[in-house]
Each structure stands twice: as C-alpha cells, then as structure tokens.
Structure 1
C-alpha cells in the first residue's frame, strides 16, 4: 500500500472515530436539556450548557466534512438511490438557507421554481448535501446583494442553479477551486476561512452520479453554480457547472 493510501485510510479511521465520539457527546448534551435541574440555564447566553452546545456544533460539522472527504479519497462513499421529490428536497434546503441568510444583514435570499417538476433517481441526502454546500459557500462569500436558488426543466434535464453577487474567483486561483485544503483568501485570519473541503465533496458526489464538474469565474462579479440531473429513465447523469 502506498503512503497516500495509508494516509487516506488513517484519515478515514480517525474521522470516523471522532464523529462517533462527538455524536455520543451530543447525545448526552441533549439529555442535559431535559433535566429539570438545569432548566434555568437553558437558552441563557453564555451559560455552561449553551456554551458547550455552541462549541460542539461547529466541531461536528468540521469532523463530518473530514469524514466525507475521507470517504471520497478511499472510495467508501456510497449512494442510496431512490425516486426523489425535488420540491421536498428544496423545502428542507431552503429552510436552512433562510437561516443562513438571516445572519447576514446585507444579503437577501431568492428562489425561482417552476410549478411542476418530475421526480429524480438520486440519493436525497447527498443531493441535499451538495446543494447546501453550494448555498453555504454563496452566503459565506457574499457580503451584499443576493443569493438565488433556481430550478428549471430543460429538455430531459433539471437545472439547479445557486447564484450570488459575491467575490468571485480570480483567474490565477482557478486551479485551487477543487483542491482540498486550499483557499482563495489571502488573509489567513479571515473568519470565512475553512478547510477547503466543501467543493471537493460536491465534486465527488456528482462523480458518483456519473457526472462531471467544471467552472468559469471572474473576480468581483459573483458566482453561479449549476448542475444538471437527467430525468431520462434509468439514467444517473449529473453535470455540475461553476460559472463565477
């Protein structure tokens, strides 16, 4: 086994262990919320239980990203395909998107949806994850303007678009877009700085649906993220396009 394979297996085992441990912690924290003795501390800013919950949530998200990335490099991620109601997916996605936008005073959230859409053969959890990753990036890198989710039926494909008026990506940083642990931000103390795993995970999800990814970008213009899902019976083709 090559060193890279050994490192990837180690990352997978480590992230799996951390995720399980954090899930156990979260279970016990949830139990604390049901204790009458602690009810005076629930919902109180900076109380010990609220402090623990606030510190725990980002850790769970980060470790989940690491495990998803580990599944991509070890080929352990699998799809559970089923007939998916797109409107059901979008309802849950947009509820979370509204919450993200509420935290940014200069950004509004819009949606453009047709009245009728067919069902899709896809993994609903992974499709939701891909959309939320794109929306999260759009909101994170947009300080003023809008984030729009658009869905459109085009011939035998359904087009999903996440469009924003954010910072875009300069041409010299194009090669970094799908590279894990890379960032286009120069300020290493920027609070928006993450681990650079979100787009890599989305790319892998699309690959698992027999798709492909590409992008176009211009700094200062904003971003449009597109992907197509074929509605042809028996097909699992998804095409993801990034136009920044």
Structure 2
C-alpha cells in the first residue's frame, strides 16, 4: 500500500480553498469525460464482436485514449489553464501549476482501481515529488467517472483528491458538459484482431497480473 508523508509544503490544498479555483472549470472537466465515454460507446456499438473480446483493463485504456482529444481541445484555449500530455495522457494545470488534474475511471466509492500499477497510482495520488518530476509540489486531483451497474453509462462524475490510498475529499461534477460543439471522433472499424491483442497486451503490461475485474 502506498503511503504519503504529508508536510506543510506537500499537503493538498483544502477543499474550501480548492472549490473556487476549480469550479469555473467544472463543466469543461465534465465535457471531457462525457465526450470520451460517448466516443467509446459509439465505437463499441459499431464493433460489438471485437469489443466483447476486451477485458475491463483494455476497455479502460481505450477510454483513456478517447480522453486525449477533447481534453486538448477544450482546455487548449482557456486562458487560466494549461493542458499537456504526460506519458501520452492529458493533464490539466490550474493556479500556476499548483493544481494538477488527470482523468480516469473511479470505483463506486470514488476509489482508484485497486488493480492498477504502483506507478499509475503514484501519478494519481497526491504524493508530491518524485511523482511529477520537474514540477513543484502540487495538489493532484482526479477528474473521474463512475459507471452504473451495466458498466456502460456514467452514473456520477467527480473531482477527487486522495492522500496516499485514502480519499481526502470529493466534489461532484455536473453531468452536463460545457456548451460547445464537439467533433465526432472516428475510430477505425472494424477493430482488427491485432488491435484487440495490442490493447490486451498493453493492459497486461501496465497492469501486471490483471486477468479481468474492474479498471
């Protein structure tokens, strides 16, 4: 289990301070997640046989891929935010870099997937250096989605802060995104067997020992 040594320099910003800083961006964060899930479900509907072969980890990786385009587009022109890719995945920086936000799936209790790799957990939790090399200590938040019992539709969107493996606080995000047109993401159909195997292989490499379960 990961632990965090919290000092005055590395402690996350308290919720009452965080709220006013992230609230103006709540609809944008929601839109990124909703667009990614919509694109994923559209792809799944178009190639049901191929997607049926994917485990939860591989599906999670594909959703993460669909997050990239809307995150870069929606936050790319926001004057008080910066967005960049780290290891291929988008992060949004607010408040001069003191707030770092990533996107991913959450458990129904707002936890991060227990089957994830240690490195991925460290990038998600608020642990300060050396998890974000080259950056000053920051409050790391996760903009995440909780799926309903069918595992298809989003039931809740939330912005959460963890300290170590403990949920520190959470703020609900609106289930409606910012009002702006979104171009359709067009994946390649049908998904080929090599692509399916590639997604499965990538999931196994990133999540060693995972043979299924929730992402």
Q: TM-score range by the shorter chain?
A: under 0.3
- TM-score normalised to the size of structure 1? 0.23
- Which of the pair has the greater relative contact order for Cα pairs under 8 Å at 6+ separation? 2
Structure with higher Rg: it is: 1
More helix by share: 1
- TM-score normalised to the size of structure 2? 0.25
